[in-house]
Each structure stands twice: as structure tokens, then as C-alpha cells.
Amino acid sequence: MHPFVELARKSIEAFVREGIISKLPDPLPQEMSEKAGVFVSLKKHGELRGCIGTYMPCCESIGAEIIANAISAATKDPRFHPVQEDELKDLTYSVDVLTCPEKIQTADELDPKKYGIIVISGLRRGLLLPDLEGVDTVEEQIKITKMKAGILPHEDVEIYKFMVIRYK
């Protein structure tokens, strides 16, 4: 298990079992000390069980970002009730580290297998990670992301793309 995924797992287990927010490893490995947006996804029996993240860094390091977003994915994803202790054995984890988003000029610059997107209209914004099952076209990717943001299909949006390195 990659150290990022192990940190997410340990953070969720400590919080769910004991209400403890994990400390960063000491010494902090170089790969965890950089800054980046991070998403943590949980699955239970292959089905999404929680996913929370940041597209720009909010914490002092990737390690801190993983801890915060792992706990949030397990306890604050509004689509699901908080993870219970008896579910921990059934969870699988992935950690996505995001590149800095770049504004696109045309949809030709997108590829739903390679790039995630952020759509923005006024104060509404939505994000969809890349390479998701069932999202095979740019049109589907934009439609789903607009829906997540509460943006109507005909509304104009700014679109940003980003790549992820996915750790499982």
C-alpha cells in the first residue's frame, strides 16, 4: 500500500475508532511535504462510500491535506452517513494528488480519461475527477460537473482542467 493511502487509512481508522486526528509522520517524507490539492475516495464493496478533496492546497503539506480530507471523506460527505467502525474492514481507499488547474479555451483540450475538470459560473463551481467509470465523453463530463454545481445545461461556464496521480 502506498504511503499516501496508508496515511488516509490510518487517519480514518483513528478518527472513527477513537475520535483522534492523526499526526503527520515524523520525519515527514519528502513526497508528503510538498503542497497540492488532494482528494481521498472511499469505496465499500466497489461502490463509492465517500469522496472529499481540495483542488488547491489548503494545508501546509500533502500529508496534512490527506489527513484532513480522509477524515472529511469518511464523516462529512453529504451524500453518505458517517462511516461506522464496523465498516472499516470493508473499505478500500484511493488518494488523488492534483496538478494546478489550467483554464481551457475550447473543449477540444479535454479528455475525460486524462483530465479532471472544474466548471465555474459565478459563485457556483463543480469538480469531477478524471478516469471515472461511465464518464466516456467530454460532453458527459461537462454535463455531470455542471449538475454537481447546480449549473443549468445551457449556462456558460469557465472550464479548468487538471491531471491527477492516483494512488491505491
Residues 23 and 59 in one domain: yes
Give me the domain span that covers residue 145: 102-163
Q: Which of 98, 127, 144 is the last residue of a domain?
A: 98
* Per-residue pLDDT tens over the stretch 106-158: 999 999 999 999 999 999 999 999 999 899 999 999 999 999 999 999 999 99
Pair (82, 150) in one structural domain: no
Residue 102: which pLDDT band, with cuts at 50, 70 and 90?
very high
Q: Report yes or no on 94 lying in a domain.
A: yes
pLDDT at 123: 97
State the CATH number of the domain containing residue 143.
3.30.1490.150
Confidence grade of residue 55 (pLDDT, cut at 50, 70, 90): very high
Predicted local confidence at residue 167, as pLDDT:
97
Mean pLDDT, rounded, of the chain: 97
Of 76, 98, 120, the residue at which a domain comes to its end is 98
Number of CB atoms found within 10 A of residue 135's CB: 17
85 lies in a domain? Answer: yes
Provide the CATH number for the domain around residue 44: 3.30.700.20
Q: Is residue 109, in this structure, part of any structural domain at all?
A: yes
The stretch 92-118 carries a mean pLDDT of 97
